[in-house]
Amino acid sequence: MASQLQSIGQVLKALQEEFPDISISKIRFLEAEGLIAPERAPSGYRRYSRMDIDRLAYVLRAQKNHYLPLKVIREHLALIDQGAEPPAMEAPTPQPMVVTQSPASPESDAAAARRSIRLTRRELLDVSGLPEATLVELERQLVIRPRRGTAFYGREALTLAVVARKLTSYGIDARHLRAIKMAAEREVGLVAQAVASSSSRRQPVSRERTNDVMQLVMHAHAALMQSVLDR
């Protein structure tokens, strides 16, 4: 059985034809997220079975072709592990990114997810597939920045890097994303003003109330954009 196990370099080579942007950093990132769990040789090197490679390919297809978030992919894999069929992955429909509040915890899933990602600059480039020159321009435009007080990048930076790479094929560059960032800052100001004005000493400003208003604003933003497109 051991002879059938493959190194991470062999896995990378096997997947590159279907997933040209795959990198060792991305494979390790997906492992850190708990989506794959390769064996470890006594020397400490990762060793991947055929099942590990198929699982990794499933994750990459769900991301590339259907834009599923890792939380949903993790739910699919849990069903597979239980011997059940995962939900069919249909053609993606653009949806607004929504920050939800976990009923089981005072801290949102989004906040916990932000802490779970800690990428160096090189890892951010490898995982996202973003050219370094584009990242330099995005940083110059203050669209992507490391976490405050650190040299590491979080989940938002990774999301922006992936989106920026995909938008370049449509002629949308760092300057345009800077304009989107400024619009987002105005919307955040509106949210903060609404939450502050509706709060009182008995009901002070909270992250949960801010997230609630932000969700409504984001839904309105997406609906208005779709309405304009449909004219």
pTM (predicted TM-score): 0.52
- pLDDT digits over 30-77, tens only? 888 889 999 988 888 889 999 999 999 999 998 888 777 788 888 899
Q: Which helix (H) or strand (E) holds 135?
A: helix 132-140
- Whole-angstrom Cα distance, residue 67 to residue 65? 6
Name the class of domain 2-81: mainly alpha
Read out DSSP for 142-167? Answer: TSS-PPTTSS-B-HHHHHHHHHHHHH
List the domain boundaries for the chain: 2-81, 109-229
pLDDT digits (tens, 9 = 90+) for 144-194: 999 888 888 988 898 899 899 989 888 999 899 999 999 888 888 888 888
Q: How far apart are CA 229 and CA 231, in angstroms?
A: 6
The pair of structure tokens assigned to 202 is 């008995």
Q: What is the CATH number of domain 109-229?
A: 1.10.1660
**Dihedral angle at the C-alpha atoms of 175, 185, 161, 156, nearest 10 degrees?**
170
> Rounded to 5 degrees, what angle do the CA atoms 117, 123, 125 make?
115
CA atoms of 184 and 165, how far apart (whole Å): 19
Instruction: Please report, for residues 15, 82, 94, 114, 187, the alpha-carbon distance to residue 86 in angstroms, rounded to integers and kept in the order given.
Output: 22, 10, 21, 26, 37
In tens, the pLDDT along 70-128 reads 888 888 998 888 888 888 775 544 443 333 333 334 444 444 444 457 888 888 888 88
Q: 2-81 with 109-229: one CATH topology? A: yes
